[in-house]
Amino acid sequence: MPVVSITRLRLRSWRFFPGFLWYAIRSNMQARRAQGNRGVKVLRERANIFWTATVWDSESHVKRFMISGAHGRVMPKLLNWCDEASLVHWKQELDSLPSWQDAHRRMMAEGRLSKVRHPSAAHERFAFPAPRSGR
């Protein structure tokens, strides 16, 4: 059964954007080429907010991707770069990517916070607005 993985990150300063962009491009390419990947999409919003949505063959494929390559190297940096970070995973029958509105609904209902060193008030409340794009 396919596994959907959604992440939401907010960079706490534009000064982290060049490094973030470097790793984001490489992580995106890594995900698209990774064994077990069925789909990838990303959304950039105002206020340094970035969403990712991926669909995988299994949870083990998600975990293998998370700790390897560019993605594995950037994860420790996000502790300092981000003031908001959250994720949610779920299994579904279809191998299609969810809409951003559905991703947000699942994030708020079933998601969890990731550790950040400088959490925003929204991060501490786990209260994030829905993405502006509904697709």
Q: For residue 50, how far is the Cα from the chain centroid?
A: 7
Q: Domain extents for the chain?
A: 3-125
Determine the pLDDT at residue 133.
74
pLDDT tens digits in sequence order for the chain, 135 residues long: 999 999 999 999 999 999 999 999 999 999 999 999 999 999 999 999 999 999 999 999 999 999 999 999 999 999 999 999 999 999 999 999 999 999 999 999 999 999 999 999 999 999 999 998 756
If you search the block for the tokens 């991060």, which residue do you land on?
A: 123
Question: Which CATH number, 3.40.50.410, 1.10.630.10, 3.40.30.10, 3.30.70.100, labels domain 3-125?
Answer: 3.30.70.100
E-assigned strands of the chain? 3-11, 37-45, 49-56, 82-91, 112-113
